[in-house]
Amino acid sequence: MEEDIHYLQRPGGADLAYCYRPAKAGVKGTTLVFLPGYMSDMEGGKAIALDAWAEAQGRAMLRLDYAGCGASGGEFEEQTLIDWRDDVLFLIEKVTTGSISLIGSSMGGWLMLLVALARPMRVKAIVGVAAAPDFTDWGFSQEQKMTILREGKLEEHSDYSDDPYVTTNKFWQSGEANRLLHKEIAFDGAMRLLHGQNDADVPWAYALEIAKKTRSSDVQVHLIKDGDHRLSRDQDIALLIDVISRLR
């Protein structure tokens, strides 16, 4: 599967990289939109596998890189959570038509909720994979938060990249200003949450908390007992595709 990378410049923002394939003639279903995690991009294993399945099914799909990530322009450390939400909104509006289903991995699960709340008439379904809303609140110790505030950023070892895991003060402040789990999440569409119970980064209890706080009654949580944070094994991806295939 080879797809050309296209670029669109968001007004006041960076050149955003994306891959989009429209639906085949006569094929119904929402456009799938994959939202990567923090310091990730549209070339990750889950995104590529889902895109291959969507192509085989004739489904429309959009993959994208946030500003400062992957093939997109911009500096990573200049971005905030809301900047990335607005990147997603911009590409959805410029590239896709009709109803969409958002698939958010880790931080992408936070963004999918923010995007769904911003475009309730377009987002029909959301699928979270180890979704991590509000991680600026629960994901850092008090000492780490003080380092972010005092030094402007926190650098940590990353298990998923050779580069350090960097959290800037501006990103952290943006996250704190856009926390969701303290009140009802006013989404009424279908929600599916997949979470590994061996997730060392995002406790699986947050999947239950998201489900509890979401207004919709069409909510299902899938717990994978031996699953880790990435949920990128063959059986994990097969489950993700099966869940998405049942949503139209």
pLDDT of 200-226, one tens digit each? Answer: 999 999 999 999 999 999 999 999 999
CA nearest neighbour of 136 among 84, 181, 75? 181
Q: Is 6 a catalytic residue?
A: no
Question: Above 70 in pLDDT, residue 2?
Answer: no
What pLDDT, on a 0 to 100 scale, did the predictor assign at position 215? Answer: 98
Give the Cα separation of 140 and 143 in Å (integer).
8
What pLDDT, on a 0 to 100 scale, did the predictor assign at position 157? Answer: 81
Q: Which two tokens stand for residue 149?
A: 């505030």
Catalytic residue among 65, 195, 229, 236: 229
Listed in order, strand segments (DSSP E) in the chain are 6-9, 15-21, 31-35, 61-64, 100-105, 123-129, 153-156, 165-168, 190-196, 219-224
Question: Above 60 in pLDDT, residue 8?
Answer: yes
Cβ atoms within 10 Å of 72's Cβ, excluding its own: 25
CA nearest neighbour of 73 among 62, 58, 83? 83
Backbone angles phi, psi at 211, to 5 degrees: -60, -40
Cα–Cα separations (whole angstroms), residue 149 to 50, 81, 180, 201: 38, 17, 22, 22
Domain residues of the chain, as ranges?
6-187+230-245
Q: Is 199 a catalytic residue?
A: yes
Query: Which residue reads 């596998």 in tokens?
Result: 49
Query: 52-68: per-residue pLDDT in tens?
Result: 999 999 999 999 999 99
**Predicted confidence band at 162 (pLDDT cuts at 50, 70, 90)?**
confident
CATH architecture of 6-187+230-245: 3-Layer(aba) Sandwich (3.40)
**Predicted confidence band at 1 (pLDDT cuts at 50, 70, 90)?**
very low
Question: Above 80 in pLDDT, residue 166?
Answer: yes
List all residues 6 or more positions away from 217 whose beta carbon is below 8 Å from its beta carbon: none
CB 189 within 8 A of CB 124: yes
Query: 9-42: per-residue pLDDT in tens?
Result: 999 889 999 999 999 999 999 999 999 999 999 9
Catalytic residue among 51, 134, 199, 236: 199
Read off the pLDDT of each residue in 120-124 and give the average, rounded to a whole number. Answer: 98
Query: Which residue reads 């950023």 in tokens?
Result: 153
Q: Is 51 a catalytic residue?
A: no
**Predicted confidence band at 161 (pLDDT cuts at 50, 70, 90)?**
confident
Catalytic residue among 72, 101, 105, 106: 106
Read off the pLDDT of each residue in 4-8 and give the average, rounded to a whole number. Answer: 96
Burial of 30 (0-12, 13-18, 19+ CB in 10 A): buried
Query: 69-117: per-residue pLDDT in tens?
Result: 999 999 999 999 999 999 999 999 999 999 999 999 999 999 999 999 9
